[in-house]
């Protein structure tokens, strides 16, 4: 039968084994739950726990033998249990466990520091991300405002261009000037033709006047000769009155009758002509009085011709005077018209100068408009690379964000891996604590067994040599089992140390990587801040430049509007002047036509006078 101590020891070992199994399973589950991505750690953990289970199972298999040996043990060296195969004391392992605990605590502290640093870095990263997002939003808002202002300016420029095109179509001074030049050239040609006609008419009038004067002189000479002949005839008739009084009276009566009949016919013909002239005079109010006077004079002259030949000479002299006066009037009118034509030509020259000035102003306006348009094009060309730069900066920011996210994901993965390692170390620390508790229990058990052995020596002095030999053999087997278990524990502890050293090295490497990544992130943040500051400065400069350009464009638009209003006024004044000049030219042409009509009437009257003279000469 086993004693209470042996049963207690068996219970402790079984409970420890069960606890170890449960802890290992829970640990694996936790690892599988938290670090499900770290698949490479699982086979190592399974191997380690399998080895631990194998050692525990072997110890369980060897337990009954050890218990039997313990019950039958007599005279065992108590100092042997405190040393391992190499002669080292268990206190050495306790010191190693203490150092491992200290290292574990240092690792935990470093882990806590890393977590705090990670929190600080996360907070700084969030701050920087927020600042970057705010700056990007601000830049995007500025860009949108710039685009809106640019679209507004473009619309305004398009409207101004439309207005300018409409104004150009309205106030195309070159076309108007060309039309006016064509009209003026036509009118000048007409004026030249009229001047030629006037000159021809004047020459014809002069020739006709000279010819009429010559004819009148000839007729006067003829009448004088006829009068002389008549006087001679009268003298001869007075001498021969007595002889042929009766014959002469008869002949004279017949001649007078014939002349009276001819004069009646002429009078009827003249009355018809006078009636026609009256109808013509009624249609023209300006020459009515003159023609009436002429007709009355002609009537009086005809009556005077009937009465006496002398009245004809007086009337012819009066008519010559009137013709001279009318010719003087015509010459005065011609000189007045020539002065008017000179004034019109001077006014046209002034208009030509004004049109040339208007052309110069139009060219200046076109040049100013072209400069403004070129400046607007330059502004557009300057804004397009800015848009490209902002798009590139946004792309760079997105790439930086993606890189930062990737690096943060890698950092989180490394932290998760470190946490898993720390958990492994904690589990190993727990295992070491349990082993230490087991060793303490074994030491206590050895102390109790030594006290029991001393009591047994006093009670069992009479034992056979066979029993002592059996007990010695049992002690040897027990000691060999102990050596094996201690060697295995030593090997596991060495493995754990090596793994701890490896993990420390990995931890240091991770720390260095973290520092490098943090420095790289700080550098990138600094570069981003510098880029953002440069962009802010550029945007401010461009905004100021854009404002200056807007102000300049508004001023130029105002100047152009003022110049256009002035040009409109000048154009209106020019149109009014041209209308006045056209009215003057029309009046001039009307006066020329009236002069033509008057000249034709005078020619007609002169012809009538010639006919009357011819008829009188025939009489």
Confidence tier at 41 by pLDDT (50, 70, 90)? very low
Q: How far is CA 562 from CA 165, 428, 478, 565, in A?
A: 17, 93, 121, 5
Residue 545 CB coordination number (10 Å)? 12
What does the pLDDT read at residue 573?
Answer: 74
Mean pLDDT confidence for 128-151: 74
- Cβ neighbours of residue 347 under 8 Å, at least 6 residues apart? 577, 581
What does the pLDDT read at residue 404?
Answer: 65
Q: What is the CA radius of gyration of the chain?
A: 73
Judged on CB neighbours under 10 Å (0-12, 13-18, 19+), 427 is buried
Contacts 24+ apart (CB under 8 A), 457-465: 457/74, 457/75, 460/74, 463/74
Q: How far is CA 397 from CA 131, 393, 524, in A?
A: 13, 6, 10
Q: How far is CA 375 from CA 286, 557, 579, in A?
A: 67, 13, 41
Mean pLDDT estimate for the chain: 65
Q: Is residue 326 part of a domain?
A: yes
Q: Is residue 538 part of a domain?
A: no
What does the pLDDT read at residue 85?
Answer: 47
- At residue 468, does pLDDT exceed 60? no
Q: Do residues 128 and 404 make contact, with C-beta atoms less than 8 angstroms apart?
A: no
Confidence tier at 395 by pLDDT (50, 70, 90)? confident
For 179-212, how does the pLDDT look when each residue is reduced to its tens digit (9 = 90+)?
Answer: 667 776 777 777 677 777 777 777 777 777 777 6
Q: Do residues 585 and 187 make contact, with C-beta atoms less than 8 angstroms apart?
A: yes
Which of 334, 358, 333 is closest to 578 using CA atoms? 358
Q: Is residue 416 part of a domain?
A: no
For 396-428, how does the pLDDT look when each residue is reduced to its tens digit (9 = 90+)?
Answer: 767 766 776 676 677 567 667 766 766 776 776
For 214-261, how does the pLDDT look when each residue is reduced to its tens digit (9 = 90+)?
Answer: 776 777 677 667 767 766 776 776 676 666 666 666 676 677 667 666
CA 602 distance to own-chain centroid: 78
For 277-315, how does the pLDDT look when each residue is reduced to its tens digit (9 = 90+)?
Answer: 666 556 655 555 665 566 566 556 556 545 655 555 566
Q: Is residue 558 part of a domain?
A: no
Confidence tier at 20 by pLDDT (50, 70, 90)? low
- Cβ neighbours of residue 284 under 8 Å, at least 6 residues apart? 597
Which of 349, 471, 365 is closest to 77 using CA atoms? 471
Q: What are phi and psi of 393, to 5 degrees?
A: -65, -40
* Cα distance between residue 13 and residue 7, in whole Å: 10
Q: How far is CA 307 from CA 284, 302, 333, 355, 433, in A?
A: 33, 9, 38, 70, 180
Q: Is residue 247 part of a domain?
A: yes
Residue 69 CB coordination number (10 Å)? 21
- At residue 2, does pLDDT exceed 50? no
Cα torsion 545, 550, 551, 556: sign: positive
For 560-593, how does the pLDDT look when each residue is reduced to its tens digit (9 = 90+)?
Answer: 667 666 766 766 776 677 677 667 666 766 766 7
What does the pLDDT read at residue 536?
Answer: 67
Cα of first residue to Cα of last residue in the chain, in angstroms, is 205
Mean pLDDT confidence for 501-517: 72
Q: Do residues 52 and 24 make contact, with C-beta atoms less than 8 angstroms apart?
A: yes
pTM of the entire predicted model: 0.21
Tokens linked to 258: 């014939």
Judged on CB neighbours under 10 Å (0-12, 13-18, 19+), 97 is middle
Min mean pLDDT across 307-311, 362-366, 386-390 is at: 307-311
Number of domains the chain is built from: 1
The conformation of residue 85, written as its DSSP 8-state character, comes to: T
Q: Is residue 249 part of a domain?
A: yes
For 67-118, how does the pLDDT look when each residue is reduced to its tens digit (9 = 90+)?
Answer: 444 444 444 344 444 454 455 455 555 666 677 677 677 777 777 777 787 7
Q: Is residue 431 part of a domain?
A: no
CA 35 distance to own-chain centroid: 55
What does the pLDDT read at residue 29?
Answer: 53
Residue 491 CB coordination number (10 Å)? 12
Q: Is residue 315 part of a domain?
A: yes
**What is the span of the domain harbouring residue 321?**
199-365+591-618
Mean pLDDT confidence for 496-501: 70
């Amino acid at each position: 039968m086993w004693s209470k101590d042996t049963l207690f020891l068996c219970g402790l070992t079984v409970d420890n084994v069960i606890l170890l199994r449960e802890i290992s399973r829970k640990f694996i589950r936790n690892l599988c739950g938290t670090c499900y991505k770290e698949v490479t750690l699982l086979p190592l953990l399974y191997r380690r726990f399998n080895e631990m289970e194998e050692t525990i199972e072997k110890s369980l298999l060897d337990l009954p033998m050890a218990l039997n040996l313990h019950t039958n043990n007599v005279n065992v060296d108590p100092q042997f249990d405190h040393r391992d195969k190499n002669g080292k004391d268990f206190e050495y392992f306790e010191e190693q466990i203490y150092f491992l605990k200290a290292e574990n605590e240092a690792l935990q502290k470093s882990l806590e520091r890393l977590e705090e640093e990670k929190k600080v870095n996360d907070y700084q990263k969030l701050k920087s991300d927020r600042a970057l997002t705010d700056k990007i939003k601000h830049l995007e808002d500025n860009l949108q405002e710039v685009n809106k202002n640019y679209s507004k300016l473009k619309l305004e420029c398009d409207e101004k261009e439309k207005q300018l095109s409409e104004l150009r179509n309205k106030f195309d001074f070159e076309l108007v000037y060309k039309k006016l030049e064509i009209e003026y050239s036509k009118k000048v040609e007409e004026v030249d033709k009229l001047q030629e006609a006037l000159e021809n008419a004047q020459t014809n009038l002069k020739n006709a006047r000279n010819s009429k004067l010559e004819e009148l002189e000839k007729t006067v000479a003829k009448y004088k000769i006829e009068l002389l002949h008549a006087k001679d005839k009268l003298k001869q008739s007075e001498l021969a009155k007595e002889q042929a009084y009766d014959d002469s009276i008869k002949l004279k009566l017949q001649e007078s009758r014939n002349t009276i009949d001819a004069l009646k016919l002429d009078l009827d013909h003249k009355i018809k002509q006078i009636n026609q002239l009256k109808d013509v005079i009624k249609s023209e109010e300006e020459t009515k009085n003159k023609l009436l006077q002429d007709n009355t004079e002609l009537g009086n002259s005809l009556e005077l011709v009937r009465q006496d030949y002398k009245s004809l000479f007086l009337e012819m002299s009066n008519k010559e005077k009137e013709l001279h006066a009318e010719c003087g009037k015509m010459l005065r009118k011609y000189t007045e018209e020539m002065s008017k034509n000179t004034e019109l030509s001077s006014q046209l020259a002034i208009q030509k100068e004004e049109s040339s000035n208007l052309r110069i102003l139009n060219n200046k306006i076109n040049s100013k408009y072209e400069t403004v348009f070129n400046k607007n094009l330059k502004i557009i060309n300057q804004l397009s690379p800015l848009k490209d730069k902002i798009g590139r900066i946004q792309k760079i920011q997105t790439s930086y964000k993606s890189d930062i996210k990737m690096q943060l994901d890698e950092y989180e993965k490394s932290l998760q891996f470190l946490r898993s390692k720390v958990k492994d170390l904690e589990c190993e620390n727990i295992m070491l604590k349990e082993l230490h508790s087991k060793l303490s229990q074994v030491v206590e058990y050895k102390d109790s067994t030594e006290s029991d052995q001393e009591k047994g020596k006093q009670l069992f002095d009479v034992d056979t040599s066979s029993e002592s030999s059996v007990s010695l053999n049992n002690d040897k087997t027990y000691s060999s089992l102990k050596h094996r278990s201690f060697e295995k524990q030593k090997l596991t502890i060495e493995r754990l140390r090596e793994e701890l050293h490896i993990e420390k090295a990995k931890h240091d490497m991770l720390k260095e990587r973290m520092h490098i990544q943090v420095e790289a992130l700080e550098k990138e943040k600094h570069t981003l801040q510098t880029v953002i500051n440069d962009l802010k400065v550029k945007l401010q400069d461009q905004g100021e430049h854009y404002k200056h350009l807007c102000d300049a464009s508004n001023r130029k638009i105002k100047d152009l509007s003022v110049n256009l209003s002035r040009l409109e006024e000048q154009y209106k004044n020019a149109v009014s002047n041209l209308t006045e000049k056209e009215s003057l030219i029309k009046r001039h042409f009307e006066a020329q036509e009236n002069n033509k009509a008057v000249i034709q009437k005078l020619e007609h009257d002169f012809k009538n006078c010639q006919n009357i003279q011819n008829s009188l000469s025939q009489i």
